[in-house]
Amino acid sequence: MTAKFLPALCAAALLACGTALAAPPHTLRTIEEAAESPALDISMTSSTEGRVLARLCDRCEQLTLHVNSETAVYYHDARTDLQVAKDRAAQGATVFFDPKTLVVRRIVLWD
């Protein structure tokens, strides 16, 4: 009895594969970049505004990233404020930012 349905099952599988291949391709886009800074180069113009200078690689150009009141700072998996980032700048950090706007989303401080 299953031999009767085998051609129909194969046809259905081929139809499903053809439909999947005909679908429009999805494109990947970068929504976030990360820069590792052995010494965080951060300067603040106020308690919530400032800038971070960072490079994505040793030979890459230096980027000026913008820090604002929505920038999150994490130290030991706990959220803290921008002053802690400034105080611990010599220990380094990973800076995550929006590549289109160059706004820092979060700073993860190292030990």
Under DSSP, is residue 38 helix (H, G, I), strand (E, B) or coil? coil
- pLDDT tens digit sequence for 13-44: 656 655 555 557 788 888 899 999 999 999 99
pLDDT at 14: 59
Q: Is the pLDDT of residue 69 over 90?
A: yes
Q: Is the pLDDT of residue 67 over 80?
A: yes
Indicate yes or no: pTM above 0.85: no
Which whole number is the average pLDDT over 7-18? 62
CA gap 39, 37 in Å, rounded: 5
CA gap 61, 56 in Å, rounded: 8
pLDDT at 93: 97
CA gap 107, 80 in Å, rounded: 10
pLDDT at 29: 83
Using pLDDT thresholds of 50, 70 and 90, give the confidence band for residue 65: very high
User: Which of the pair, 86 or 11, is modelled with greater confidence?
Assistant: 86
- Could you state, in order of their start, the residue ranges of all structural domains in the chain? 33-109
C-alpha Rg value of the chain to the nearest Å: 24
Q: Is the pLDDT of residue 72 over 90?
A: yes
